[in-house]
Structure 1
Amino acid sequence: MSRVPLGRWVVAIPMSLLALATIYPLLFTVNVAMKTRRDYILDRFSLTDALRFENISTAWNSVGMGRYFVNSVLVVTCSVALLLLFGSMAGFALSQLRFRGSSALFLACLAGLFVPFQVIMVPLARTMADSGLIDTYPGLILVYVAQFLPFTVFLMTSYYKTIPSEIVDAARIDGNSVYGVYRRIMLPLGTPALLSVGILNALFCWNDVLMSLVMMPSADHRTLMVGVTSLRGQYSDDIPTFASGVLIAAIPVLVVYLFLQRQIADGVAAGSTKG
């Protein structure tokens, strides 16, 4: 019997413990969501004796998690679509088009990465209130686009820089306009980066609480994550219902991570090396 090298154990044991620490909270949440309130009060750590979906149904229908879920899907879909459109256009222009001030403009976009939302939260809220955009879907979408656009522009610019400029020059010689080059050449070539950046932005917007809480004060317009945080106060004596709300919010994120792991990793590393 061959021995396992010591180096593998040194890596495997910490990684196994890290995986266990990551998976256990999810399993605990699922277990609690399947319990009745009485069972949870009697023994919160015991395994449930049956699969009960009444708490999930209550959270979805009676508590309003279904409405919050639709709100999140609407806001995230529109925000990601605008981010990909503007980010790909800016990335193409900053990486392939030659114009004065392009480097300074790229640095200005990078500077937006270092401005946390907490710094601009109060003046932004006042500006949006004066514009009548507080508690509206367009207002929250604009905030998401403004907040995550620098990140999108950075990754798309880095990715498009790996594409040889000769391809763009050849397309221009063939009679394509700048828009034609963008639509016919750069968008198809940028599909892997667009997919990766789109997934990352969708996760950022889906998991956001602070920006949504500031922009959407009314209960009807809450996003899913804000709805989950509000459950903790309203259902502090009904932990299984609260756990069901957490599970509803976590399932889409888990599905994305399980099926799109490679695209997420590629998005983090997009443009990190020259082709």
Structure 2
Amino acid sequence: MRGLGLTRWVVAVPMAALALATLYPLLFTTNVAMKTRHDYVLDRFGPADSLNGDNLATAWTSVGMDRYLINSVIVVTAAVALLLLVGSMAGFALSHLRFRGSRVIFLGCLAALFVPFQVIMVPLARTMADVQLMDTYAGLVLAYVAQFLPFTIFLMTSYYTAIPGELVDAARIDGNTPYGVYRRVMLPMGRPALLSVGILNALFCWNDVLIALLMMPSPEHRTLMTGVTSLRGQYTDDIPTFASGVLIAALPVLLLYLFFQRQIADGVTAGSTKG
């Protein structure tokens, strides 16, 4: 029993330290956002004297963060919907439909996971400019789909591979076309993976700054995260207002994680099982 208790402490202490290191930036940002500029200059690390929402109101109204929030919701919703549609179809095809080149396509998706966006950003920007999709919602949505589709296909293929092929064969015997099998069998059985992958992609798209800055140069089309960067330039000396903007941008992601943390964990491990 003593050895078991010691083992628990050996695991618990590093995990508690890791949790504290993760929570401290959020707590520090919240504390700074509640201070006035004068209080922050006098004591940067001390606790705020009272809850002050003026900085939040200033950050929300001064640079149009309400518009940035709408832009982010539109782009993220469209990108995630398209990623799930294309990724689930490709996952079904690569896992259960045998055709020439399927293995090569899957390996190509795996290889694309290792290509950083900085390598393709210049060709992507030139291509989008040539087809007049720069500074448009559609252009940013397509850029997100191109960036995160290999990850989505990989996870959906891994998940669908674990579904027995006999179910697909039985559906085909019942007269279903490949699309019918996808709609009636694969989509219902793939709901856990679709939810997990959708949440992960939503987090990726919401937190992105580089792609959004590249694709949306005009101020009225900025997403929420790029709006926070503009807030930093406008309020360089007003750190509490900037911290309030960071807090506003982080709250939707934080709430999404709190409500769907189990699904996010399942999505991270979805591709680790062998079917």
Per-residue CA deviation, residues 13-42 of structure 1 (Å, 9 max, x unaligned), is 111111111111111111111111111112
CA shift, 1:274, in A, is 3.3
Distance (whole Å) between structure 2 residues aligned to residue 47 and residue 17 of structure 1: 21
Q: Distance in 2 between matches of 1:270 and 1:5?
A: 32
Q: Which consecutive aligned stretches of 4+ in structure 1 deviate over 4 angstroms post-superposition?
A: 1-4
SS in 2 for 1:114: coil
Structure 1 residues 119 and 3, CA gap change in structure 2 (3 angstroms): closer
Q: Is the counterpart of residue 217 in structure 1 residue 221 in structure 2? A: no
Residue number in structure 2 paired with 1:81: 81
Q: For 1:42-70, what per-residue CA distance to the aligned partner results, in whole angstroms no more than 9, with x for missing partners?
A: 21222112211111111112221111111
Amino acid at match of 1:162: A
8 A Cα contact 1:71 1:222, kept in partner: yes
2:166, 2:239 → 1: CA distance?
Answer: 61
Match of 1:176?
176
The 5-angstrom pairing of residues 10-89 of structure 1 reads 10-89=10-89
1:193 to 1:42, Cα distance in 2 relative to 1, 3 A:
same
Further displaced range: 89-98 or 62-71: 62-71
Letter in 1 for 2:98: R
Secondary structure of 2:132's counterpart equals coil
Long gaps (5+) in structure 2:
none
For 2:206, the equivalent position in structure 1 comes to 206
TM alignment of 1:225-240, pairs within 5 A: 225-240=225-240
Give CA deviations for 1:114-166 in whole Å, capped at 9, x if unaligned.
Answer: 21110011111111111111111100000000010000000000100000011
Q: What are structure 1's unaligned runs of at least 5 residues? A: none
Give 1:57's aligned amino acid: A
Q: CA deviation at 1:271?
A: 3.5
CA RMSD, 1 decimal = 1.5
Q: Is the 8 Å Cα contact of residues 168 and 181 (structure 1) preserved in structure 2?
A: yes
Per-residue deviation, residues 185-216 of structure 1 (Å, max 9, x unmatched):
10000000000000110011011111111111
CA positional deviation for 1:4: 6.9
How many residues end up aligned between the 2 structures? 275
Q: Deviations over 1:66-102 (max 9, x none)?
A: 1111111110000000000000000001101111111
Equivalent residue number for residue 102 of structure 2: 102
Residue 272 of structure 1, CA deviation: 1.9
Task: Give 3-state SS (helix, strand or coil) of 1:5's partner.
Answer: helix
TM (norm. structure 1) is: 0.96
Which residue of 2 is the match for residue 113 of structure 1? 113
| Preserved contact between residue 148 and residue 201 of structure 1 (Cα < 8 Å) | yes
Give 1:136's aligned residue. 136
**Contact kept in structure 1, 2:59 and 2:231, CA below 8 Å:** no
1:4 & 1:48 partners in 2: Cα distance?
42
1:8 aligns with 2:13: no
In structure 1, distance between residues paired with 2:129 and 2:44: 44
Q: Is the CA contact (8 Å cut-off) linking 1:162 and 1:271 kept in structure 2?
A: no
Q: Deviations over 1:202-256 (max 9, x none)?
A: 0110111111111111111111111112222210111111001000111111112
Q: Which amino acid aligns with 2:181?
A: V
Other-structure match for 1:149 = 149
Aligned-residue offset at 1:8? 1.8
Matched-pair contact (CA < 8 Å) for 1:225–1:249:
yes
Q: Displacement, 1:3?
A: 8.7
One-letter amino acid matched to 2:75? V
Distance 1:229 1:121 in 2: 20
